[in-house]
């Protein structure tokens, strides 16, 4: 396998992301420049089903990835020979989509004799705030909230993650999508619920705050989804009030769990949020207030880096190269992983938390 210069300000990494329903390619430099990036949404394909269909997603990745790779290289005015490494998401995610991106990354690495960097999709999210904010240093407390994951992590360095909490059933992004489906708002649900919530009264619908006050900082959103369904079926509440009340209940759960995590794990210099739900402005506002109350710096990536994207995957590759001067690439026979915890030593929690 080829070598890379490892100069901290010189490396150029090509990133590929295909873990769910976004096909994405980006070129990122070690000095935090995004040279080019493209993201192809699959919203139209999945909208009729109210959620992501794995087989449709994998097929769309296979159809779009090669033209996107060529387009990104053209956008940047570079050839593959000028790229130092290929970073591709190797998991966790929908296995068909992950395989499409990883196999493409392997092929490019082999053809161009470049190192392959197999990136954990969650690590891409975890490190993405550092791409946009050079002042963000390790360690920091991370709230990772997306359609498939809801975790609190102590980020202590590249490859060094301590999971403090996870969901025992559903992720918050999934709860947003389910609420949108119940209210007939379509897919993707998170932005639609946030827009509708602005028109509603967050105190109008009595909804539960699952696990609030629990002595463990884990999350649970299955009961909240069920309560939203019952509120809607009762016919007693306006959709906007249900959306606003759901969003506030979710925020109350996040803040309560984060407070407990801080009590148990100690203070961190910064509170960082990442993942698709990090684009929600009400969530950001509540987290910023919590950070200020605990004398912590609050950091959230730009909206473009919150949802799934390849820039974060390329940046994770840059971080890996800078962290390990002897790294020569991951083996080309590594397998895609539908599950890949950032902290494999974390204790298994009851329910579906094992997914994390």
Judged by average pLDDT, the poorest of 3-7, 21-25, 113-117, 145-149 is: 3-7
- Provide the mean pLDDT of the chain: 93
pLDDT tier for residue 219 given thresholds of 50, 70 and 90? very high
Q: Using CA of residue 223, residue 150, residue 175, residue 349, what is the dihedral sign?
A: negative
Residue 109 contacts residue 116 (beta carbons within 8 Å): yes
- E-strand stretches of the chain: 12-17, 22-29, 34-41, 85-91, 116-120, 140-145, 150-157, 160-166, 270-274, 297-299
With cut-offs at 50, 70 and 90, classify the pLDDT of residue 178.
Answer: very high
Contact 13, 87 (CB under 8 A): yes
> Could you give the 3-state DSSP secondary structure of residue 99?
helix
Candidates 110, 340, 159, 143; CA nearest to 261 is 143
Cα–Cα distances in angstroms (integers) from residue 258 to residues 42, 173, 212, 261, in the given order: 33, 17, 11, 5
Please say if the pLDDT value at position 4 is more than 60: no
User: What is the 3 state secondary structure string of 2-24?
Assistant: CCCCCCCCCCEEEEEECCCCEEE
> Can you list the domains of the chain with their CATH numbers?
12-127+305-355 (3.30.420.40), 138-300 (3.30.420.40)
Q: φ, ψ for residue 153 (rounded to 5)?
A: -130, 140
Q: List, for residues 334-351, the tens digit of each pLDDT value.
A: 999 999 999 999 988 866
The torsion region of residue 202 among left (phi > 0), alpha (psi -120 to 50) and beta comes to: alpha
352 pLDDT higher than 60 = no
φ and ψ of 88, to 5 deg: -135, 140
* DSSP for 264-291, written as a single string: HH---SEEEEESGGGG-HHHHHHHHHHH
Burial of 91 (0-12, 13-18, 19+ CB in 10 A): buried
Q: Which residues contact 63 (CB under 8 A, 6 or more apart)?
A: none
CA proximity to 27, closest of 91, 64, 80, 67: 80
- Reply yes or no on whether the pLDDT at 7 is more than 70: no
Query: Which tens digit of pLDDT belongs to each residue from 58-93?
Result: 999 999 999 999 999 999 999 999 999 999 999 999
Q: Are 24 and 40 in contact (CB under 8 A)?
A: yes
Which range has the worst mean pLDDT, 46-60, 155-169, 255-269, 302-316? 46-60
> Could you tell me how many helices (H) and strands (E) the chain has, helices first?
10, 10
Above 90 in pLDDT, residue 267? no
> Is beta strand 12-17 parallel, antiparallel or unpaired with respect to 150-157?
unpaired
Residue 147: per-residue pLDDT: 85
For 27-31, what is the mean pLDDT? 98
pTM: 0.93
Q: How far apart are CA 279 and CA 289, in angstroms?
A: 16
């Amino acid at each position: 396998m080829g070598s890379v210069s490892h100069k901290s300000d010189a490396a150029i990494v090509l990133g590929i992301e295909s873990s769910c329903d976004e096909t994405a390619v980006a070129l990122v430099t070690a000095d935090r420049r995004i040279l080019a990036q493209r993201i192809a949404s699959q919203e139209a394909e999945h909208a009729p089903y109210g959620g992501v269909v794995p087989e449709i997603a994998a097929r769309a990745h296979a159809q779009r990835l090669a033209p996107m790779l060529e387009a990104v290289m053209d956008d940047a005015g570079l050839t593959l020979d000028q790229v130092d490494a290929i970073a591709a998401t190797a998991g966790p995610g929908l296995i068909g989509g992950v395989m499409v991106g990883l196999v493409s990354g392997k092929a490019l690495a082999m053809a161009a004799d470049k190192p392959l960097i197999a990136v954990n999709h969650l690590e891409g999210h975890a490190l993405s705030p550092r791409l946009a904010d050079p002042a963000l240093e390790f360690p920091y407390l991370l709230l990772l909230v997306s359609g498939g994951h809801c975790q609190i992590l102590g980020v202590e360095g590249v490859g060094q993650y301590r999971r403090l909490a996870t969901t025992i059933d559903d992720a918050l992004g999934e709860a947003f999508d389910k609420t949108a489906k119940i209210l007939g708002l379509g897919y993707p649900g998170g932005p639609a619920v946030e827009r509708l919530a602005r028109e509603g009264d967050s105190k109008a619908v009595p909804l539960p705050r699952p696990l609030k006050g629990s002595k463990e900082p884990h999350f649970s959103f299955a009961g909240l989804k069920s309560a939203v369904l019952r509120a809607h079926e009762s016919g007693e509440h306006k959709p906007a009030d249900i959306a606003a009340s759901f969003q506030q209940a979710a925020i109350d759960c996040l803040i309560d769990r984060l407070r407990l995590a801080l009590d148990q794990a100690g203070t961190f210099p910064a509170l960082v949020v990442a993942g698709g739900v990090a684009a929600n402005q009400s969530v950001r506002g509540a987290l910023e207030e919590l950070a200020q109350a605990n004398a912590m710096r609050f950091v959230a990536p730009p909206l473009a880096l919150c949802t799934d994207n390849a820039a974060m995957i390329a940046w994770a590759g840059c971080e890996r190269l800078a962290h390990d001067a002897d790294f020569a690439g991951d083996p080309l026979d590594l397998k895609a992983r539908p599950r890949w915890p950032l902290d494999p030593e974390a204790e298994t929690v009851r329910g579906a938390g094992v997914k994390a």
